[in-house]
Each structure stands twice: as structure tokens, then as C-alpha cells.
Amino acid sequence: MRTRIQFKLLALCLCLFASNLAALRADCITAPSGLIAWWRGENNALDQVGANHGVMINGATFAPGKVGAAFLFDGVNDSMSIANSPAFSNLPQISFSVWFKFNALPTNKWEMIITKGRVTGPNSNCFWLFRAADDDRLQAGVETAAGLSGVSTSQAFNDTNSFHLAIVTYDGAQVIFYLDGTPISTNFTTGNVRTDFDPILIGQRNGPGVDGVGDVMNGLVDEAAVFNRALTFQEAQALFDAGSAGMCVAPTLNIAPLPGAVRLTWTTNATGYLLETNSVLTLPAGWGVLASNYSILSTNFAVTNAIGGATRFYRLHKP
């Protein structure tokens, strides 16, 4: 019984990861296509859409953010690190986005928001976003085989009161920096994004930086995401307009073993989903609605289903 239930859980995970992120509430938005990593900061460093999970460094923690919880960095030496993956390098296009809020802006202090690379000049970068010490502007960009392509705010950025959404896109020819849904800076380059073997760091850059600990951030980062294509103006605007609702998250189905049965429960964001079962793990054939013909409500609910020794697979499916 134990082995069978574990196999069912694995199968369920495969089904959920194969599903599209669907609109579960009227106010959240469906994630744009091309999303390859998404660190929500919901009291963990997990990647919502893949296996690029992060590690909290030196006591980094969580606090209320823009969309639920967020990563909290104290400006001393903590950050969040995601191991290098081929998915993040040598891309013909890329976009990355973060909600961020500074808690303190010390004079002459570099503060890294998200980086991949050492950010020390040519041949040391993949992509970056930080507040510069020399002019207090937000600076961002990507590096390709053609060189660095930076974009920035036109004036100093000194806000410590509110969250802001930064999105940087590269379509193979043009780099655009969006701040709060508005394009504010553009640059031009060509070629694939540089292959880089450094981790993605949130709240820090790789190496000692200027302050000796990677120019760490004092503030919060929420909903960090990477896409393998350039988001459009309309998509950047929609992500900002979604505000605290953010991108929609797929619901979770939990399976617990009982003597001769399984207990099925699901999370509260499953409105419009059906509870389905199958005797073999095939997609899309073979799946049928559980006998009671449920349309899952947006409340936690439990179903006990007898299995009679037979292997069964379960999933939540949005028609």
C-alpha cells in the first residue's frame, strides 16, 4: 500500500506540472507563456513551475510582500541563491521580472536586486538589476556575444515606501526596461544571452562586490520570474495591473492513504476544476471524472475513494 500511494503522488505531480497555469480568480492573471522559473517567496525558496529551487543564505527570511509573502534581506550578508541551469543561458530571448521594495538606501551603497553573473564589467554577466552607488539610479540589462546592453532609470531612485515592478525584456535586438508597467529605457544589441555558470542571486551578486559580501540588498523581493522570450508591452502592463493578485497559481491535490482507500483534499484555489481518475498514467486519454461528478468548489473539501487494491491515479483538471 505504501509504495502504491507514493507512486500515485509522483504521478499526480507530473500531471499538475503538465497543466497550464489557469485563471482561478478574476483578479489574478494567467502567467505569460515562456515562464521557465518563478520564485514566489511564499515562505519557501521553491520554483513554482520547475525544479530550479533556491536556497536561503545567511538567515534570509520572509515578510509580507506585494503578492502574499516575499523574500526579506537585511542588508548585512543574506540573499537567496539558485544554482546555475542551462535553461538560463544562451537564450535568443529573455525576460525577467521582480516586485521589489528597499527598506534602506545607505549612501554610496550598491544594492543588488537580482543578478546572474559577477556584474563586474564585460564577460562577467548574464543579466542584472541593481541600484547603483555612484548615481542612485536603477540599472539593468543583459550581456550577449555582442557585449553589454544596459538600461536604467533617468533619475535617482530613492523610494523606500512602496513596492515597484521591474521587468527587463530582450527580443534578440532590443532591451527594454519597464518600471511599474511603463517602458522607461531602451538599448540595442544582438546575439544570444551570454552563457554564464554563476548562480542566480536574489538580493546579492556573485563575488565580494564593493562591500565585501556581494553588495547585498536591504529590502524585499517578491514574485521573481524568468521567461525564455521577450514579454510584450501589453503583458508587462498586465503584470503590473494585476498588483497584489499576481499571476495565477495552479491548485494542489493532496493524497493520503487510508485502509483500502485514499483521502483526497485540495487547496482553496481550485474553482472550476474537476476531480478525475485513471487506471494508467496516460495523457490525455483515459481520464474520467470521479463517480460523484464533482465540480471543485473554492473551499477545502475531502473525498474518500475506495481503491480495492487497484492502482489509481488522480488529478485536478480544468475543462
Q: Report pLDDT digits (tens) over 24-65.
A: 333 789 899 999 999 999 999 999 998 999 999 999 999 999
What is the per-residue pLDDT for 290? 79
Mean pLDDT, rounded, for 167-196:
97
Considering the chain, what is the average pLDDT of its residues?
A: 86
Torsional class of 120: left (φ above 0), alpha (ψ -120 to 50), beta (otherwise): alpha
Buried b / exposed e across 212-237, counting CB within 10 Å, b at 16+?
A: ebbbbbbbbbbbbbbbbbbbeeebbb
Q: Regarding predicted confidence, which is higher, 241 or 20?
A: 241
Quick one: pLDDT at residue 19?
Answer: 33
Strand-pair partners of 81: 55, 201
- CA 169, 173, 174, 175 dihedral sign is positive
Sheet of strand 138-144: strand arrangement = 54-57, 79-82, 200-202, 111-117, 125-131, 138-144, 147-152
pLDDT, residue 281, reads 78
Rounded Cα gap, residues 249 and 263, in angstroms: 23
Cα→Cα distances 131→66, 137, 158, 195, 264, Å = 20, 6, 9, 24, 47
126-172 pLDDT per residue, tens:
999 999 999 999 999 999 999 999 999 999 999 999 999 999 999 99
C-alpha–C-alpha distance, residues 133 and 135, integer Å: 6
- On the question of pLDDT at 7 being above 70, the answer is no
pLDDT-based confidence at residue 312 (cuts at 50, 70, 90): confident
pLDDT-derived band at 89, boundaries 50, 70, 90: confident
pLDDT of residue 292 exceeding 70, the answer is no
Cβ-based neighbours of 3, under 8 Å, separated by 6 or more: none
Query: What structural domains does the chain harbor?
Result: 2-19+250-317 (no CATH), 35-245 (2.60.120.200)
Task: Name the grid cell of 22.
Answer: 489557469
- Any idea what DSSP says for residue 153? -
> What is the reported pLDDT for 300?
55
Residue 182 three-state SS = strand
| Cα distance between residue 39 and residue 45, in whole Å | 6
Q: Is the pLDDT of residue 288 over 90?
A: no
> Rounded CA gap, 29 and 217, in Å?
29
